[in-house]
């Protein structure tokens, strides 16, 4: 094993920005891959989205358990906190909050996957050249042909 010092590195020996590293960091801690890619502005968006979806999981689960317990109490002959609802209303509410809770779990997993995908794709494009030398110019033209006269057209010019 040989250790290389900074003085021994040539201009061809550069560190590669690794998509795998970005993916693994975001897998460990959401937003860490974005920090690795130096896209710090994305981190609050990720945490706001994850926090909101987790809030809905917790709230829908609480409501689900509350109405489920009220229905069980009612079936056991115990007075519940919702006398204004019929048994069918309670079953409808139980199904509603269970479905919303399950959807919130799926949404949270989707947001987490988008976090991973964003970190990996951004790392792939980290050294992508977006200088002014790369451009496309769209310009209108009018062409004349003897058969059909003047015809409008669009011209594209690529500059590398």
Which residues lie across from 142 on neighbouring strands? 152
DSSP assignments along 41-103, one per residue: THHHHHHHHHHHHHHHHHHHHHHHHHHHHHHHHHHTT---S-TTS-HHHHHHHHHHHHHHHHH
Q: What is the pLDDT of residues 7-44, one digit of tens each?
A: 555 544 456 789 999 999 999 999 999 999 999 999 99
Q: Is the pTM of this model over 0.85?
A: no
Q: Is the pLDDT confidence value at 125 over 80?
A: yes
């Amino acid at each position: 094993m040989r250790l290389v010092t900074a003085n021994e590195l040539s201009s061809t020996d550069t560190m590669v920005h690794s998509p795998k590293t970005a993916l693994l960091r975001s897998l460990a801690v959401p937003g860490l891959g974005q920090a690795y890619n130096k896209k710090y502005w994305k981190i609050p968006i990720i945490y706001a989205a994850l926090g909101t979806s987790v809030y809905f999981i917790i709230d829908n689960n609480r409501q689900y358990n509350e109405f489920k317990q009220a229905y069980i109490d009612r079936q056991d002959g115990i007075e519940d906190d919702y006398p204004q609802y019929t048994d069918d209303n309670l079953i409808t509410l139980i199904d509603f909050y269970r479905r919303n809770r399950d959807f919130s779990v799926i949404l949270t997993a989707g947001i987490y996957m988008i976090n991973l995908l964003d970190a990996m794709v951004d790392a792939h494009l980290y050294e992508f050249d977006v200088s002014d030398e790369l451009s496309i110019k769209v310009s209108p033209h009018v062409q004349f042909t003897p058969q059909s006269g003047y015809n409008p057209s669009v011209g594209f010019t690529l500059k590398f």
